[in-house]
Amino acid sequence: MYAIFRTGGKQFRAEPGRTVRVPRLSVEPGATVTFDEVLLGSTGEAVKAGAPLVHGAKVTAEVVRHGKDDKIVVFKFKRRKGYARKQGHRQGFTELKINSVKL
């Protein structure tokens, strides 16, 4: 059983018992989060596709921790102009443990 849900402008596959990293949520670790924007769900035999959402479907998860991803380097450069800019960025994430998928 799995579901595809949407949060933070991105889509994620949720299966019970697995962990997922989503863009940072403003929720304390240990709290339970429910996602209602389920785009697709499968029970193993049948697949339910939403138009655009599956009616009544929910994904519940527990917040494990917050953190930052690896650093990416943004380097801008224009040749022969003396222009070079270097900037680093670390995107924040929230790690979730999927408890249940209800279709």
The predicted pLDDT at position 46 comes to 92
User: Which pairing describes strands 83-89 and 2-7: parallel, antiparallel, or unpaired?
Assistant: unpaired
Assign 3-state DSSP to the chain and report helix, strand, coil percentages, each to 5.
Answer: 0, 60, 40
Structure tokens at 84: 């070079």
Question: What are the two backbone dihedrals, phi and then psi, of residue 14, each rounded to the nearest 5 degrees?
Answer: -115, 130
Task: Average the pLDDT over 77-103 and give the result.
Answer: 97
> What are the tens digits of pLDDT across the range 46-73?
999 989 999 999 999 999 999 999 999 9
pLDDT, position 13:
97
Q: Which domain holds residue 67?
A: 2-102
Domain count, the chain: 1
